[in-house]
Chains A and B, each alone.
Chain A
Amino acid sequence: MNPNQQYTEAELVLLLTQRNEAAFSYLYDHYSGALYHSILSIVSDSEIAADTLQEVFVKIFRQIGSYDSSKGRLYTWMLNIARNAAIDTTRSKGFQKSQQNQSLSETVYESAGSVNIASDDLNLRKWVNQLKPEWSVLIKLAYFEGYTQDEMAKMLDIPLGTVKTRLRAALKELHKLIKD
């Protein structure tokens, strides 16, 4: 297998639906870093993020048949799988327990040698933190924690219309930030 082999997105998707190992290897090499970043921005712990990444690629491999290229790019589809998997991980009991232990050890040892990556250093988090607090809270809840617009409206006790408008405005601003 030529390691410099390039595929167009259509070729890659076709080969993946045929369960082609070389194409899947290419997919991993090409996208794992980007997806790992997005998972890390949600779960923080690099070990748990790595496990989630593996789980995400298994899902991609098994569900490639349901990808519809007319609705969007392959990366967007994979990003949403990764984000949903990462949010599911944070909601699992095991994860919440390990996070408690993590914060305990951090206070004692000041996170010396910890595998925990300070998620605020990640680009995605950094940009979100640059937004107005009333916007960033919505993105944190919606994007990083997976709350629906309805849930956020109830949680923050603001009208759904306002949530919708603010979220859109926040994302619009975020778009400008990452574009520059």
Chain B
Amino acid sequence: MNTREYIESGIIETYVLGMASPEEAAELEALCLEFPEIKAALNAFEETLEKNAMANAIPPPPGVKKALFKELEFSFAKTSLPEEPNQTVLPTQPAPVVAMKSFSRYFAAAAIILLMISGGLNIYFYSKFTETTQQYQALLIEKNTLQANNQIIQTKSLDLFNSMQMMADPNMQKIAMPGVPGKEVNYATVFWDAKSKDVYLLPNKLPQPAQGKQYQLWAIVDGKPVDAGVMGDCAGLCKMKNIPAASMFAITLEKAGGSSSPTLSEMYVAGKVG
């Protein structure tokens, strides 16, 4: 094909200026791929046209650009240009100050006052709460103490009741043990069950034993002292050892846990059976 003739025909100008028919345009585009000289001629005319248009440019009214950018305001990409990395940091903007309607202002003022009152009450109620909690703890301890005391008293009173029952038992033999010479103020009583031969001791009047000492009851059997047990920390009657037979009972102060034979110098009380 004669490309020169084709180029000179004016088809390129027709195509570039948008007046070619669809068939003509398709033909030209195909020929451009095949013949570089046609493509070059096309490009040359485009450049001439553009250069001429630039030289004869008429500045549009200045408002157009503003209106155009306003119209496209939200269509632009939000990222900044890659060649301007400094601009990636957005300037900090002050928070907008929004004027309130007057009823909103009163509402806001009332809300702030209520919040302050509420805050004050919170502090007051918290201190009250702390105080009350402390008082409650104190009462709880007191209650537990009283309950424990009450139990002790109940136990003691039950012991006393049992003791009283025993003393009133017709089988029970009462042996009074007055103070030995020099210790006349002291007095104790032994209750001896005639049937079971159980021995109970009632320390009516005995001084508090010193630390590390305990009173020990002795039964005198055939003229010899037999250990009848040491007196523990008992309320009312103290249950002692079982003694089948005895002619006499006596109490000495011995080392804690008792001794095998009585310390006669430390005898407090003694009494004959019968």
Contacts and interface: CB of A to CB of B under 8 A. Distances in A.
Contact of B10 (A28, A34, A169): A169
A103 interface: no
Contacts of A61: 72, 75
B53 A79 contact: yes
A50 B48 contact: no
Contact of A36 (B9, B29, B60): B60
Interface residues of B, number: 42
Contacts of B142: none
Contact of B50 (A20, A37, A50, A75): A75
Contacts of A19: 75-77
Contact of B64 (A25, A50, A72, A123): A50
Contacts of B4: none
Contact of A21 (B43, B63, B65, B76): B76
Give chain A's interface secondary structure class: helix
B61 interface: yes
Contact of A171 (B17, B48, B64): B17
Contact of B67 (A54, A72, A80, A149): A54
B112 interface: no
Which of A18, A35, A168 counts the most chain B CB atoms within 10 A? A168
A105 B147 CA distance: 116
A144 to B, nearest CB: 11
Contact of A37 (B16, B29, B56, B71): B56
Contact of B60 (A32, A79, A143, A172): A32
Contacts of B221: none
Interface in B1-47: 8-11, 13-14, 16-19, 21, 29, 42-43, 45-47
Given A19-B75, A28-B68, A148-B21, A53 B16 contact: no
A72 B231 CA distance: 126
Contacts of B8: 172
B57 A175 contact: no
B181 interface: no
A28 B65 contact: yes
Contact of A50 (B52, B60, B84): B60
Contact of A72 (B42, B56, B75): B42
A167 interface: yes
B63 A50 contact: yes
Contacts of B42: 72
